[in-house]
Amino acid sequence: TILAFEKLWEEGKNINLVIVGKQGWFVDELIKKIKEQPLLNQKLFWMNSISDRYLDELYSVCHCLIAPSKGEGFGLPLIEAAQHKLPIIARDLSIFREVAGDYVYYFENDDNPAILANAIENWLNLYRKSKHPKSDQMPWLTWKESADQLVGLMVERQ
């Protein structure tokens, strides 16, 4: 994601990237890349330990959520973004499609930063015309549907 934004910044795009999340396993190279980025705290921001209240504030001021994850367990960030009526750009993963359907702008599941950069540009063009997929229209599961899915998963694994 950082490489995609670096490409966009080099092209003169005036956009910011806010990365939210604590430092986890196997991300030393990413952390190094963030800390060495000349635009850190100017166009690139890393929020590594924030409260739920501050996260809510971020959701209210951001233009979209980018979910570049290559492997996601459930897609919780997409659900949180949709609850905040935030548009979503996501890697084309089956779990994301299962959770968010057509209410997300998907980009090809490829590691080439140009693909994400192009997807962001295409999404921005749609956003300016208000033709982007809108997560605020995403249907929600009822508590019963959620419970039925959970029971189904538990039965499958027995």
Domains (ranges, CATH) in the chain?
2-156 (3.40.50.2000)
Residues 138 and 85: their CA atoms lie apart, in Å, by 9
Detail the DSSP E strand segments found in 21-148: 44-47, 65-67, 88-91, 105-107
Find the mean pLDDT for residues 137-155. 75
Higher-pLDDT residue of 126 and 152 is 126
pLDDT tens digits, residue range 26-81?
Answer: 788 989 999 999 999 999 999 988 999 999 999 999 999 999 998 767 788 898 99
Asked whether the beta carbons of 62 and 86 are under 8 A apart, the reply is yes
**Beta strand 65-67 pairing with 88-91:** parallel
Query: Is the overall model pTM greater than 0.75, yes or no?
Result: yes
Cα torsion 34, 36, 42, 47: sign: positive
Query: Binning pLDDT at 50, 70 and 90, where does residue 22 land?
Result: confident
